[in-house]
Amino acid sequence: MEKNAPELLKEIERFARDNKAPARVTFGTSGWRGEIGTDFTFRNIRVVTQAIINVLKSDDAVIKKALGIKDFEDVKRRGVIVGHD
């Protein structure tokens, strides 16, 4: 029996949430590309999010200048945009 769209979406969401297998996260010129549940897992999203936070908290003046931020308080005040296509 073929699954309908809501059933399939629930299965993909469950797989993305429960998959603990390590996966290589690869960024290209178009951003992070991958398959939901295999590359886009909750674990990988946590890892990438923490890496972004670590960069934003950096004391490196060159990084701050490149990002156009003063410090992490500036980031918290201004916010961060997460986009998708």
Asked whether 23 and 38 are in contact (CB, 8 A), the reply is: yes
Write out the chain's pLDDT in tens, 85 residues. 566 778 887 887 887 778 777 777 777 777 777 777 777 778 888 888 898 899 999 999 999 999 999 999 999 999 988 776 6
pLDDT at 46: 84
What's the alpha-carbon Rg for the chain, to the nearest Å?
17
End-to-end Cα distance, the chain: 31
Q: How far apart are CA 6 and CA 12, in angstroms?
A: 10
Q: Which domain holds residue 26?
A: 5-78
The answer to the question of residue 83 being in a domain is no
- Position 37 scores a pLDDT of 74
Number of domains in the chain: 1
Instruction: Report pLDDT for 85.
Output: 62
pLDDT, residue 1, reads: 55
pLDDT the model gives residue 4: 75
